[in-house]
Amino acid sequence: MSDVLIELKGLTKNFDDQQVLKGIDLKIYENEFLTLLGPSGCGKTTTLRIIAGFDEPSSGEVLFDGVDISKIPPYKREVNTVFQKYALFPFLNVYDNVAFGLKIKKMDKSLIEHKVKKTLKLVGLEGFDKRDVTKLSGGQQQRVAIARALVNEPKVLLLDEPLGALDAKLRKEMQGELKKIQKEVGITFIFVTHDQEEALSMSDTVVVMHEGIIQQVGTPEDIYNEPENRFVANFIGESNIVEAIMVKDLLVSFDGFEFECVDKGFKENECVEVVIRPEDIDIVKPEEAKLTGTVKSIVFKGVHHEIVVETEHRDYMIHTTDYFEVGLQVGLKFGPDDIHVMYRMDWE
């Protein structure tokens, strides 16, 4: 990662008497694909709109190349936005939609044509120039919206849930496409989504937000494997979350047993929470494991089975390709590095 391009410092935002952002601090780097991830109402879109200039923060700074731009109107910022519902101009055809920004800048006509054609080619819409945007499919409108933003050669492209309106298959396709385009043009993308799978598969950095606060910033692997708290663990994929006590470094106790783990740095006997991913648990014979229980249900999910095992203290969810009869006595086995210890959250 190279230099910091955008830095958010202590951003807050109030709408009427509701505080939707409660102090956002974030560094965004050049050429980074950064995703703001969280459930609706977490403040991710507001953060994006503040960067774009559509909303002004109630307090805090937006530094762009080291200069505070929080009071600068959107039309003077070096960012462009792909809107959730595309917001294409219905009275302009594909070419004129894409050329809109360049015409405003009074660029030379032949240069505009060159740039528009090049960008349309980049997004795979060669030869669509004269088409009526209102008659295009969702995916095609999406591409026009991306081209219309990219043609201005912004330093940052902001994308506000751009894939929300597409069907599952097209979504997958566009995810790959967006990642490809980002590599090709080599600029920063800030992507907003509530879809954790989308966030994990596309991003360099994922920022998980909840109730106006950043919960965790990290690579997709970090976020998935080392969630910092119960919210992140829950939001990023299904998890078994267990209240536990950190006996000492590398030793955690829950469900009446002590388990070796790889986490340290907690206080002795600190109350913590442990997350174990469903796919990290192996189902073995009862005598081979500390934890035992009975298979409560099994559901076929396509690639794997989702099995719920009832133990003395709680139900565990397990993902495995193997099949087990309901009612079978089994043991649950996991290794030290499958146990992720998190600080306990007081707000839940």
Q: Site size for another protein, by CB under 8 A?
A: 27
Q: Rule CB under 8 A: say whether 131 interacts with another protein.
A: no
Return the range that interacts with another protein (CB under 8 A); candidates 100-108, 135-143, 221-229, 253-261. 100-108
Q: Which is nearer to another protein, 93 or 175 (CB)?
A: 93
Pairing of strands 18-29, 4-15: antiparallel
CA–CA separation, 88 vs 262, rounded Å? Answer: 51
Q: What is the DSSP string of 49-66?
A: HHHHTSS--SEEEEEETT
* Closest approach of another protein to the CB of residue 108, in Å: 16
In the complex, minimum distance from the CB of residue 81 to another protein, in angstroms, rounded to a whole number: 5
* Residue with smaller CB distance to another protein, 132 or 315: 132
130 binds another protein per the rule CB under 8 A: no
* Sheet with 340-343: strands ordered across: 257-260, 251-254, 240-248, 270-276, 340-343
CB of 101 to another protein, least distance (A): 4
Binder of another protein out of 71, 85, 109, 121 (CB under 8 A) = 85
Q: How many residues in the chain? A: 348
With contact defined as beta carbons under 8 Å apart, do 248 and 242 qualify? no
Residue 291 corresponds to which tokens in the numbers above?
A: 């934890």
Q: Find the helix packing angle between 94-104 and 138-150, rounded to 10°.
A: 20
Distance CA 150, CA 146 (A): 6
Three-state DSSP state, 284 = strand
Note whether 81 binds another protein by CB under 8 A. yes
> Could you give the 3-state DSSP secondary structure of residue 92?
coil
What does the DSSP assignment read for 218-243? Answer: E-HHHHHHS-SSHHHHHHSS--EEEE
Q: Name the segment binding another protein (CB under 8 A); options: 86-94, 111-119, 258-266, 340-348.
A: 86-94
- Using the rule CB under 8 A, is 80 a contact of another protein? yes
Nearest residue (CB) to another protein, 30 versus 78:
78
Q: Which of 4, 63, 92, 250 binds another protein (CB under 8 A)?
A: 92
Footprint (CB under 8 A) of another protein, residues 39-78: 52-54, 73-75
Query: Which CB, 44 or 305, lies closer to another protein?
Result: 44
Site string for another protein, 134-163 (x = CB under 8 A): --------------xx--x-----------
Residue found by looking up tokens 């101009």 in the block:
89
Which of 19, 30, 100, 170 is close enough to bind another protein by CB under 8 A?
A: 100
| Kind plus residue range of the DSSP H or E element containing 108 | none
Q: DSSP E strands: which ranges in 66-184?
A: 67-68, 79-82, 156-160
Query: Does 324 contact another protein by CB under 8 A?
Result: no
Residues that bind another protein (CB under 8 A): 52-54, 73-75, 79-81, 83-85, 87-93, 96, 100-101, 104-105, 148-149, 152
